[in-house]
Structure 1
Amino acid sequence: MINELLTVEEVAVFLRTTPNTIYRWLRSGKLPGVKLGKEWRIRKEVLDAKLAETTPMLKRQSLLDGIELKSNHMMAISSNEDDLLDLEAEFFKKGLALKQRLFKGCWWQNTDDVRQELAARGVPIEELEKNNLLTIIDLAKKYETSGVQGPIQVWRDEATITNQLGYSFLWASGSPGLESCGNFSNLIRFESLLDDTLAKLNVVGICPYLYNDAGKNGLNEFIELMKCHRNVMFYNHDSFVYLKNNFADN
């Protein structure tokens, strides 16, 4: 039907995601829509055109192929939550293609929301969790109860379980924020300790950060965080840069 208008709920069901995600896409302009009073509507032909835009996804996959299967602790920087989730989904798909076990650590993210968002992006969450091939843990709660050592121990435990199950590497993503550990000094302490810990384990890990969390000292803080990681990724929708961090070797 020409000019067919779809509701937010209809689009969410079609894309296997949540209405809140569709609202974010509409507000950011990622998905064009029209507003009728207080309600959003999406033209079907616009949705079809967006689904046909496959080139950016192929570009992301080819760039992720540069990540090697070796102990690593990477920082990922994205400009918005949708891009961060896109990056995490493609990162996990890469781990699955290499037949590795997965771990997802949440700080500011809700674990159930993460399940929905990753599933909508093609990660078979239910099957992976059922077979102990993926663990999703709230690291913020671990920090609240045990301080820095709480989430660090989770990473250690997941690496141990992975080895016991016969996998060569744990393919993992955490998602800290600048306020995750109460203040920036505690965050730096956590990331430095995590870097030392992962250097001794068979873990390919990324710590994705949202750059829009940055305040007036944001650039300096991100530079300090980069020093706590072996490599740095900058990701923005269809652009991706992967850099070796010489700071980490000093």
Structure 2
Amino acid sequence: MADLLTVDILAEILEMHPRTIRRYIRDNQLPATKVGGEWRIRREDAEMFIGSKLEHIKSNAIQDVQAFMDGKDSEVDGKLQVCSVLDCYVEQAEAFKISEAIMWHMNQPDPTRGKAKFQYFFDEKENKGRYIIWGTPAFVGKVLAAVDSAVGN
């Protein structure tokens, strides 16, 4: 089951509304199967879909980081706000597992999280996963430490 994603998880990874993901499924742009009345997307199909949208995702990520640096985007709560860009030079399968681990933290009830935000994409040319995480320093630090432990540096 770990190789199947829900519409909601893929929507969070791509920072899209779940309805948008369902529209891609309905329009046959994203293969999916119904399991128990809910759409499930195979990891390989999600990676292919993400790859085809890579330039759009990169552009949005750059705009979001620039907005944060310019002080214009404050979707994060608290007096202290952090935006961290993490590059992992790993194979695509491991990069996707790292994104799932980050999403796990994003979905856990955690008082240090506040309003946090996360973007991920994999660049096949550079063989690199790029993760952009916004949140409180305590939460972003916790997520980065978890990734470091998982990758085993």
TM-score by length of 1: 0.23
Under a length normalisation based on structure 2, what TM-score does the superposition of the two structures give?
0.36
